[in-house]
């Protein structure tokens, strides 16, 4: 899991270097990283539970907890929210605070739903 976490964290760090958030700006990169990671988790969970249930027992912790856990960054989400609030941008901070879990849940649900639809369609 540690290797997976390192891989995911490096990918997240690369995204932050690619699109850094300006001081006091809306943390779009963190929001997009969390949404993308949650979408991949949705696809991944369908594959290991519905499609390939006989996967090795370490695949789920390596990819799910390790890589995707290191990639998604809810600790940075908390820090970003705190920084927005401390900078006097309460409305933006509270919007971000509420938007992130909604986007993350929508991403994981829609990705899992779409993956199940595609898998079912391909099997017919």
- Give the helix ranges, DSSP H, for 24-89: 28-46, 59, 69-71, 74-86
| Side-chain-facing half-sphere of 47: CA atoms under 13 Å | 13
| Number of domains composing the chain | 1
- Percent of the residues in the chain that have a pLDDT greater than 90, as a whole number: 61
Sorting pLDDT into bands at 50, 70 and 90, what band is 10? very high
pTM of the model: 0.87
Residue 80's domain comprises 2-119
Q: Is the dihedral of CA 48, 113, 5, 13 positive or negative?
A: positive
82: in domain:
yes
Mean pLDDT of the chain: 90
Residue 124 lies in a domain: no
46-96 pLDDT per residue, tens: 988 877 766 778 888 888 889 998 899 888 899 999 999 999 999 999 999
What is the predicted pLDDT for the residue at 54?
Answer: 67
| CB neighbours of residue 7 within 10 Å | 17
Q: Are 5 and 69 in contact (CB under 8 A)?
A: yes
Joined tokens for residue 80 = 């970003």
> What's residue 21's pLDDT?
87
């Amino acid at each position: 899991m540690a290797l997976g976490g390192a891989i995911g964290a490096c990918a997240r760090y690369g995204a932050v270097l690619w699109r850094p958030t300006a001081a006091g700006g809306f943390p779009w990169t963190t929001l997009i990283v969390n949404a993308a990671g949650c979408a991949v988790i949705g696809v991944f969970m369908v594959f290991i539970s519905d499609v390939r249930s006989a996967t090795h027992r370490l695949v789920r912790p390596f990819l799910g907890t390790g890589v995707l856990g290191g990639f998604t960054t809810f600790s940075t989400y908390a820090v970003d929210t705190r920084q927005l609030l401390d900078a006097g941008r309460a409305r933006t901070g509270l919007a971000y605070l509420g938007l992130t879990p909604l986007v993350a849940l929508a991403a994981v649900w829609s990705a899992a739903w779409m993956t199940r639809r595609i898998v079912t369609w391909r099997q017919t």
